[in-house]
Amino acid sequence: AQSVTQLDSQVPVFEEAPVELRCNYSSSVSVYLFWYVQYPNQGLQLLLKYLSGSTLVESINGFEAEFNKSQTSFHLRKPSVHISDTAEYFCAVNSWSEGAQKLVFGQGTRLTINP
């Protein structure tokens, strides 16, 4: 079965500093990877996804993630964070079982931006 490990439960950084949120997944023949963001008391929003093609994928608000097959990783990065990036971030991998597509989520990383 697929699994996802987010290596850091909390990441505090200063505003305008770079950040990396780490995600590792269990190996599979074909894998599709996602990052979701959750602001307080809200649902999850899809931030970016890797399905195929270029291993570097970008979001509209400056985040990027790189699919690394040899290291089974999909780390999320941003070169300069803003206060508004404070949120919980979830990494997810697809899983197919019992005739349905599912997502397996990591435990989440709480990103806190300090002024």
Partner 1 sequence: SQTIHQWPATLVQPVGSPLSLECTVEGTSNPNLYWYRQAAGRGLQLLFYSVGIGQISSEVPQNLSASRPQDRQFILSSKKLLLSDSGFYLCAWSHGQMYEQYFGPGTRLTVT
| Contact residues for partner 1, defined by CB under 8 A | 32, 34, 36, 41-46, 49, 51, 90, 94, 98-103, 105-108
Helix or strand holding residue 50 (H, E): strand 44-50
Alpha-carbon torsion (48, 12, 110, 44), positive or negative: negative
Nearer to partner 1, 50 or 75 (CB): 50
CA-to-CA distance for 108 and 93, rounded, in angstroms? 13
Nearest distance, CB of residue 49 and partner 1, angstroms: 6
Q: Are 93 and 32 in contact (CB under 8 A)?
A: yes
Nearest distance, CB of residue 21 and partner 1, angstroms: 14
Nearer to partner 1, 43 or 53 (CB): 43
Nearest distance, CB of residue 94 and partner 1, angstroms: 5
- 53: alpha, beta or left? (left if phi > 0; alpha if psi -120 to 50): left
Nearer to partner 1, 15 or 38 (CB): 38
Nearest distance, CB of residue 19 and partner 1, angstroms: 20
Nearer to partner 1, 7 or 15 (CB): 7
| Three-state SS at 107 | coil
